[in-house]
Structure 1
Amino acid sequence: MNTTGTHIAYLHTCHRKLWLFAHGIRMEHTSDIVAEGKLIGETSYSDRSKKYTELELNGIKIDFYDAKNKVIHEVKKTDKVERAHIAQVKYYLYMLSKNGIEGASALLEYPKMRQTQIVEWEEGDEALVNSYIQKATAIINQPDCPPLVRLPICKKCSYYDFCYAGEE
C-alpha cells in the first residue's frame, strides 16, 4: 500500500480513523462537514485551476501546485487540526523532493478564517516524515482496529456515528 497525504493527516488526528480509512471503511461521503470543506476548497479560489496544475505522483494527489514557483496550495476549512495539515504538506514536500523537485514550499490556506500559513522544508524534516510513514504503516498493518480514544474533535469527525454506535 502506498502512503498518502490523507494517511499522514489521519496519523496526526486519530489512529482509529487512519486504520479504518486504510482498510476501505470510508465515511467522508456521509459528512456534511466534509462536504462543506470540499465546497470551500472548490469555490474559494475558483480561478486557481486555470493557474495551477493538479499534480499526481506515487499515489498522491496535490490539487493545486504552482510549478513556476514550486508552491503547494492546500485549502482547509479550519485550523483545528493544524498539526495534521502541516504533517500532510510536509509529506507532499518530501514526495516532491523524492521525485526530483527540490526547494518547494507549501501554503496552508484557511479561506473562512482569512489566514494563510507558509510551510517550509526544514533540516530534519526528511527523518520526521520517514517516522510518520513508519508509524502510519505500523498502525495500518495492525490486525485489529485501534480502540476508540475520546477526543474533542470526535463530534465533528465523519466517523463519529461509526465509532460511537451503541454509546449512551
Structure 2
Amino acid sequence: MLSDSEKNLRIIGTQIHYYFICKTKLWLFSHHIQMEQESDLVSLGKLLHEKSYKEEKEYTIDNLISIDFIKKQGCLELHEVKKSRKMKKSHEYQLLYYMYYLKQKKGIENIKGVINYPKIRKKITIDLDESKEKELMDVIADIGNILDMDTPKPQRMKICRKCAYFEFCWV
C-alpha cells in the first residue's frame, strides 16, 4: 500500500502543466483520453526542441518525469524547452515538480531549473524553495481531488480554440 506522499509522487509533469491550463484537460488526459499526439502545436513544439537542442539528450525518470535535458554546472541543472511564454506559470510548476521529485525520491538537493524559450532567446531560472514546495504540495493534493471527481465541466477560455481537446469539450 502506498503512503499519501508516495501516491502524490505518482503524478507526471504533464499533469502539473495541465493543472494550470485546464482542469478538464487534466482530468481527460489522466483518464487515458489523450488527444495531444494529433495536435499540430505539440508537433511544432517537439520540432522546435529537436532543432534548437539537437545535441541534448532527453531523460525520463521512473516513467514519471521527462526532462528535456540536464547539465551539470556546479549543481544539477534541469532544462525544459518551451515554445512560448504564454503559459509561464504552468511551465514553472512543471519544472518545480521535477526538482521536487528528484529531491524527495532520489535525495538530490543541489538542483536548479531553467526554462528555455528558443524562439525568443530567453532563459528563466527557477529555484525550489520552501514556499514553492508548499504551494506544489497543495497543487499535487488538488490534482488528486480533481482526478477523483466525475468529469469536470469544461469552462470556455481563449486557449480552447487551439486545444487538442476542443472537439471533445465543445462539439
Match of 1:3 among 7, 11, 19: 11
Which 4+ runs in 1 deviate beyond 6 A?
none
CA contact (8 A) 2:13 2:64 kept: no
Deviation of 1:112 after TM superposition, in Å, equals: 1.1
Contact 2:68 2:81 in 1 (8 A): no
TM-score using structure 1 length: 0.90
Aligned to 2:3: none
More deviation, 37-46/120-129: 120-129
Secondary structure of 1:48's aligned partner? coil
In 2, the alpha carbon distance for the partners of 1:88 and 1:25 equals 20
Residues 25-104 of structure 1 mapped to structure 2, 5 A cutoff: 25-49=33-57, 54-57=59-62, 59-68=64-73, 69-98=75-104, 99-104=106-111
Structure 2 CA distance for partners of 1:156 and 1:62, relative to 1, 3 Å: same
* Alpha-carbon offset, residue 57 of structure 1: 3.2
Three-state SS of the structure 2 residue aligned to 1:124 is helix
Secondary structure of the residue aligned to 1:66 is strand
The offset of 1:145, in angstroms, is 0.9
Identity across matched positions, percent: 38
Superposed CA RMSD in Å reads: 1.5
Structure 1 residue 46 displacement after superposition: 1.0
Q: What is the distance in 1 between the residues matched to 2:79 and 2:47? A: 16
5+ residue gaps, structure 2, are 1-6
Q: TM-score, normalised by structure 2?
A: 0.88
Alignment-mate amino acid for residue 133 of structure 2: E
What letter corresponds to residue 54 of structure 2 in structure 1?
S
Pair 1:118 & 2:129 matched: no
Letter in 2 for 1:28: E
Letter in 2 for 1:11: Y
Contact 2:69 2:78 in 1 (8 A): yes
Partner Cα separation in structure 1 for residue 119 and residue 68 of structure 2:
18
- SS of 2:11's partner is coil
Q: Give structure 1 stretches of 5+ with no counterpart.
A: none
